[in-house]
């Protein structure tokens, strides 16, 4: 709309010439009344009508070759079918050949019927041919005058778009100062609506951000970060002040900032600067858990979500992942036994090499093998009695 307004103000001197061209275009379009992809259809019909005799000779010859009662293809195939039908059921291989012959017979019989119908509809029509030749010339002349160098149908489609907007353009040009005032009012109305929609979006985001902040803070408290507070802040412009057009984007006017506060009196620091690797892993897990409650996802895949985590915190990470798996499929890649112990199914990825070829494989562990694998992850020794006891204790947590 602003572009239209600018054009109206700056192009007043050329208005009369533009109006004349647009009116002539719409008048000639209305007289010609072209249809979508008409030129290609006209050419196809011209090609057919100009070749009626050649088409009749081809169709007649093919029909005779197929349907001649003495030596036609259908007659010969019919005889072959009879011979094969006489031996039906005596050998499967021959039955399959007979089936192929029968299928070919029916296909050719359908083709023969189609040729007969085609010949019945094939008629010379000099009057229609003359009309189409004139129509083709009219379409070409119209595109030559109003279009570019592309194909006739492509250029006609572009001209159609211009014709569609021509009435509005003529109204803009004829309206003068009245049209300028009308556009200014429309722009003002759109700005008012944009402002109202932006306010509404900000309010909705602020409400969601508050719930997200509380939910994630509660989750990370259970992940050995009891004093840490998570914040999702919605930073919005001064809607009562002077907003610039650049403040409005396809996603609204807000900036979303996520930060943490390590303790009650500590400063708020953005996630990228204030969280260690282990803390970031736990915060991301907490975000997934909270979001899953309102927007369920069928499958979650976590790769090294426990990076930088160990001990009690690792156990809590495993517990949260297990809780999440009650509502969705959760696939976790981990090197921590405290996390792996919470899984319902445990898979091991292993590599073997004979010095020349390296092979990789994935295998699911049964309960006894899980004890040994968890023990190996704990102590590096799968046969250690103390490690196996600790592994069994970790695995038992799932049932608590």
Q: What is the mean pLDDT of residues 150-159?
A: 90
Q: What is the mean pLDDT of residues 178-192?
A: 80
- Placement of tokens 């009508």 in the chain: 49
Q: In the predicted model, is pLDDT for residue 10 greater than 80?
A: no
What is the structure's pLDDT at 8? 59
pLDDT band at 144 (very low <50, low <70, confident <90, very high): very high
pLDDT band at 263 (very low <50, low <70, confident <90, very high): confident
Q: Bigger pLDDT: 235 or 297? A: 235
User: How large a percentage of the chain has pLDDT more than 70?
Assistant: 94
Q: How far is it, in rounded angstroms, from Cα 119 to Cα 56?
A: 7
Q: In the predicted model, is pLDDT for residue 400 greater than 60?
A: no
Q: In the predicted model, is pLDDT for residue 62 greater than 70?
A: yes
Q: In the predicted model, is pLDDT for residue 387 greater than 90?
A: no
**Contact assessment for residue 195 and residue 40, using Cβ atoms and an 8 Å cutoff:** no
What is the structure's pLDDT at 42? 94
pLDDT band at 27 (very low <50, low <70, confident <90, very high): very high
What is the structure's pLDDT at 240? 83
Q: How far is it, in rounded angstroms, from Cα 287 to Cα 275?
A: 14
Q: In the predicted model, is pLDDT for residue 266 greater than 70?
A: yes
**How far does the chain reach from its first CA to its final CA, in angstroms?**
65
**Mean confidence (pLDDT) of the chain:** 87
Q: Bigger pLDDT: 171 or 343? A: 343
Residue 355 gets the label, from left (phi > 0), alpha (psi -120 to 50) or beta, of left
Q: Where are the alpha helices (DSSP H) in the chain?
A: 2-10, 15-32, 38-49, 52-67, 73-86, 92-121, 126-146, 152-221, 271-274, 277-294, 311-324, 337-340, 367-379, 385-396
Q: Which of 90-104, 124-138, 156-170 has the lowest mean pLDDT?
A: 156-170
38-49 and 126-146 are packed helices; what angle lies between their axes, rounded to 10 degrees?
150
Q: In the predicted model, is pLDDT for residue 2 greater than 70?
A: no
230 backbone dihedrals φ, ψ, rounded to 5°: -100, 140
What is the structure's pLDDT at 351? 85
Q: What is the mean pLDDT of residues 263-287?
A: 84
Q: What is the mean pLDDT of residues 9-35?
A: 82
Nearest to 372 by CA among 383, 361, 380: 383
Count other Cβ atoms within 10 Å, centred on residue 130. 11
Q: In the predicted model, is pLDDT for residue 177 greater than 70?
A: no
pLDDT band at 339 (very low <50, low <70, confident <90, very high): very high
What is the structure's pLDDT at 7? 66
Q: What is the mean pLDDT of residues 218-240?
A: 89
What is the structure's pLDDT at 207? 95
């Amino acid at each position: 709309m602003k572009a239209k307004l600018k054009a109206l103000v700056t192009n007043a001197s050329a208005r009369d010439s533009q109006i004349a061209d647009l009116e002539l275009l719409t008048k000639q379009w209305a007289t010609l009344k072209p249809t979508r992809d008409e030129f290609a259809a006209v050419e196809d019909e011209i090609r057919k009508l100009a070749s009626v005799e050649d088409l009749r000779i081809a169709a007649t010859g093919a029909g005779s070759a197929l349907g001649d009662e003495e030596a036609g293809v259908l007659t010969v195939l019919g005889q072959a079918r009879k011979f094969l039908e006489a031996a039906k059921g005596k050998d499967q291989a021959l039955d399959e050949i007979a089936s192929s012959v029968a299928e070919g017979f029916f296909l050719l019989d359908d083709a023969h019927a189609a040729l007969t119908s085609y010949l019945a509809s094939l008629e010379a029509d000099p009057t229609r041919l003359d009309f189409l030749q004139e129509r083709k010339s009219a379409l070409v002349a119209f595109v030559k005058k109003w279009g570019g160098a592309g194909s006739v149908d492509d250029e006609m489609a572009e001209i159609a778009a211009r014709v569609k907007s021509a009435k509005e353009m003529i109204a803009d040009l004829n309206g003068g100062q009245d049209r300028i005032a009308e556009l200014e009012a429309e722009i003002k109305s759109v700005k008012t609506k944009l402002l109202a929609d932006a306010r509404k979006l900000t309010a909705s985001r602020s409400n969601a951000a508050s719930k997200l902040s509380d939910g994630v803070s509660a989750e990370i408290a259970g992940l050995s970060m009891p004093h840490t507070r998570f914040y999702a802040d919605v930073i919005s412009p001064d809607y009562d002040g002077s907003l610039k057009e650049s403040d409005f984007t396809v996603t609204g006017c807000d900036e979303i900032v996520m930060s943490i506060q390590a303790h009650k009196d500590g400063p708020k620091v953005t996630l990228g600067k204030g969280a260690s690797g282990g803390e970031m892993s736990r915060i991301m897990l907490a975000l997934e858990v909270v979001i899953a409650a309102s927007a369920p996802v069928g499958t979650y895949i976590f790769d090294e979500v426990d990076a930088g985590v160990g001990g009690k915190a690792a156990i809590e990470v495993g517990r949260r992942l297990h809780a999440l798996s009650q509502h969705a499929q959760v696939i976790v890649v981990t090197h921590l036994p405290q996390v792996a112990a919470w899984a319902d199914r445990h898979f091991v990825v292993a590599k073997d090499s004979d010095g020349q070829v390296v092979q990789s494989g994935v295998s699911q562990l049964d309960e006894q093998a899980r004890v040994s694998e968890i023990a190996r992850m704990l102590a590096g020794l799968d046969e250690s009695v103390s490690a196996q006891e600790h592994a069994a204790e970790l695995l038992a947590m799932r049932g608590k």
